[in-house]
């Protein structure tokens, strides 16, 4: 049975691999710096990025989402 070669951080960063190098500025801007240092930082970047994009999608589809959510927190008492 053939073994798999070990993936290195360089394999994920360079353009011949996953190409994460192109997302470095974006990752730093959303709070996940140093993606070239380890895979955990890359994972955090992916999580933050998708969280940000999901929020943008909801805002676009439901423009008054923030207003509606704030109303739910302030229930009028009789």
State the residue range of the domain holding 47: 9-73
If one counts every other C-beta atom within 10 angstroms of the C-beta of residue 30, the result is 16
CA distances from 32 to 1, 4, 77 (A): 38, 29, 42
Strands (E), the chain: none
Please check whether residue 46 lies inside any domain of the structure: yes
pLDDT at 77 over 70: no
Tens of pLDDT, residue by residue over 25-75, are 888 888 877 777 778 888 888 888 888 888 888 888 887 877 777 787 754
The better pLDDT of the pair 38, 76 is held by 38
Name the residue with tokens 């933050």.
48
Claim: this prediction has a pTM higher than 0.85: no
pLDDT (0 to 100) of residue 74: 53
Give the number of domains in the chain. 1
Please check whether residue 36 lies inside any domain of the structure: yes
Please check whether residue 53 lies inside any domain of the structure: yes
Tens of pLDDT, residue by residue over 34-45, are 777 778 888 888
Q: Round to whole Å and give the CA distance between 78 and 74.
A: 13
Please check whether residue 78 lies inside any domain of the structure: no
Please check whether residue 1 lies inside any domain of the structure: no
Please check whether residue 23 lies inside any domain of the structure: yes
């Amino acid at each position: 049975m053939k073994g798999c070669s070990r993936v290195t951080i360089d394999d994920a960063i360079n353009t011949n691999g996953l190409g994460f190098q192109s997302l470095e500025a974006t990752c730093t801007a959303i709070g996940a710096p140093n993606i070239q240092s380890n895979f955990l930082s890359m994972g955090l970047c992916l999580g933050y990025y998708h969280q940000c994009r999901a929020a943008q999608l909801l805002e676009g589809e439901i423009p008054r989402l923030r207003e509606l959510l704030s109303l739910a927190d302030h229930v009028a008492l009789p």
